[in-house]
A and B are shown apart, each in its own frame.
Chain A
Amino acid sequence: MSKIEINHLTVDYTEKKKSFTALKDVSFSIEEGEFVSVIGSSGCGKSTLLSILEGINTPTDGEILINGEKIRGTGTDRGVVFQHYSLFPWMTARKNVAFGIKQVNHSASRSERYKIADEFLDKVGLEQFKNKYPSQLSGGMQQRVAIARALAMDTDILLMDEPFGAIDAKNRTILQELLLELWENATPRKTVVFVTHDIDEAILLSDKIVMMTANPGRVYRELKVPFDRPRNRSELVQTKEYNKFRNNLLSLFYSDIADKIGGEEVVL
């Protein structure tokens, strides 16, 4: 049994009596401890897919199973990092993390929660900023806090929707490496669903890449990423295999677009 099974998921949005199919018959599965990236051009339904996984949205048809059970709404088995920094502006970094911990661990006392929070803020390199409010932190720092919170909640599953999408290139690289390191070194490894439109990011981080295509949103290809872990970006990008894999991925990406322009249905 897979950790997460997505079965024939269809999502229609209705706006002003007009219906729009954002996802159509999306099916794939994710193993326990697997890092899966979902890539695809903007508007192909990645966020929609994740919102169903998060439980803040319900599908029109189909279902998602976690540990064999159909999900109904949000759950403490899933930690989430959004692209928009999802911190509460009225809480300090430490309080934000501690608040997350409190929701999954009701029995921990305040000082225990703060202790865990400090530990994870330390891990993301923000121990000096724990008493700062989000408005006093840069975007990259806020996203570190959000990651610290998701990790501190110690959920089985992590859902991330373009978490580094709004961060400048240099900080994005740093955060990718931080996430890779934290995820690779954790035992047991968490199951991660990571949305991105950055191909290099997807290859560096994932075990599997799910490519989606738009109008309506569907799965276009699933690819295993054949590189050993622990991974090191600077070594990896120099290898022939990496470039071959990357070019293959790019050509798939463009053939999808070419297919669309040609007006022909893609055979899956």
Chain B
Amino acid sequence: MNIPAGTIPTAKADKKIKINSELKTEFFRRYFRVVHGLFAVLILIQFLPDQLQTETYIFYVIWFAVGVEILTLILSAVIKKTASLNLFTDIVGFIYGLLIAWTLATAKFNLLKAALFPPPGKVFRQFINDYDKILVNIQSSVGIILQGYLLALIIAIPLGLFLGWNARLGSSATYISKFLGAIPPIVYIPYGIALLPTFKSVSVFVIFLATFWPVLSGTMSGVMNVEKKTIDSAKVLNVGKFTMLFSVILPASLQQIFIGCNQGLTVSFVLLTSAEMIGAQSGLGYYIKNYSDFGDYTRTIVGLIVVGIVIVIISFIFNSIQKYLLRWKQ
């Protein structure tokens, strides 16, 4: 009896130490990351002597980096999943790395043509100064995309369900959609310009078409591929036609509908920014084109970054919606 009585406290103490050290490694894993080292490097190099004649606005970079760093630390405490945290710090690390290279190549060593490659501080400053203008342009571009895109979804999905359902019952609607969908939407632009009064309405029209065909054919092939047993299961419940289409066929084809939606979104963005560069008086494509025409490459870079951010945000929203609506899939 003596032996176990003696060993228990030791075992307990051992366990305590183990838990303690586990906590410590967990703490290290969360807060001691390469990304923070990159942050330190980024801050330090800002204080190297400038090689450029013009102002480099290092404090804009510093404030930006400090803001991102604080956010990273907060999220390090908040995010539970290691995988998500890793992804986030990887992205931040990439941004820091890019800023380090950018700072060194421009402000500090002047390796690139100064007129074409402004230092990062200048770009950040321009971003803040142009904030209002940028917002208006985002609104203009995103507004056009949303209008054309949503209009296309509202029409293409029900139509695709209806045509797909009838095609399943043996008609040849698929071929019509395949043929019309094969025409690249950009060729409709001249026709649209002749037909519609403003640049905006032409843009909405083109985005509508760019989205309409992939969504229509995605929906139709989704419907054609719904398993017979799913349809039989619904039939024996004696569902009405409307319920069959919208409560059974629609969710059953959702994955393929999303493929069409995704394709439409990508094409819409490319088309709109290109179109804005050609003929618009507003929008992100216009912003970029306009300032690069005037040789204002600081603003051109601001525009590029904004386009990137907008696309990332929209894809994120799109993916979240898709993930939510398909949450029942394994």
Give A residues with C-beta under 8 Å from B: 54-56, 74-76, 78-80, 82, 84, 86-91, 99-100, 103-104, 133-136, 153, 159
Contacts and interface: CB of A to CB of B under 8 A. Distances in A.
A133 B236 contact: no
A80 B236 contact: yes
> Top 7 closest A-B pairs, CB basis?
A86-B233, A80-B236, A90-B251, A133-B328, A135-B330, A90-B328, A103-B237
Given A74-B238, A75-B238, A103-B238, A82 B233 contact: yes
B interface secondary structure, majority: helix
Nearest to B229: A84
Contacts of A79: 236
Given A54-B232, A74-B238, A90-B254, 14 more contacts: A54-B235, A55-B235, A74-B237, A80-B233, A80-B237, A82-B233, A84-B229, A87-B233, A88-B251, A88-B252, A99-B237, A103-B237, A135-B329, A135-B330
Given A56-B236, A99-B247, A82 B229 contact: yes
Interface in B275-330: 327-330
Max count, chain B CB within 10 A of own CB: residue among A54, A79, A89: A89
Interface in B211-236: 229-230, 232-236
Interface of B: 229-230, 232-239, 243, 247-248, 251-252, 254, 327-330
A159 B238 CA distance: 14
A interface secondary structure, majority: loop
10 contacts: A55-B236, A56-B232, A80-B236, A80-B237, A86-B229, A88-B248, A89-B328, A99-B237, A135-B329, A135-B330
Nearest to A57: B232
Given A89-B328, A90-B328, A100 B237 contact: yes
A89 B252 CA distance: 8
Nearest to B233: A86
B328 A74 contact: no
Contact of A56 (B235, B248, B252, B327): B235
Contacts of B237: 74, 80, 99-100, 103, 153
A100 B235 CA distance: 11
Contacts of A80: 233, 236-237
A232 to B, nearest CB: 32
A104 B238 contact: yes
Nearest to A53: B236
Contacts of A91: 328
A80 to B, nearest CB: 4
Given A82-B229, A86-B229, A54 B236 contact: yes
Contacts of B234: 88
A82 B254 CA distance: 24
Nearest to B227: A84
A243 B204 CA distance: 77
Given A82-B229, A84-B229, A90-B328, A74 B247 contact: no
B233 A74 contact: no
Max count, chain B CB within 10 A of own CB: residue among A74, A90, A100, A135: A90
Given A56-B235, A74-B236, A103-B239, A89 B329 contact: yes
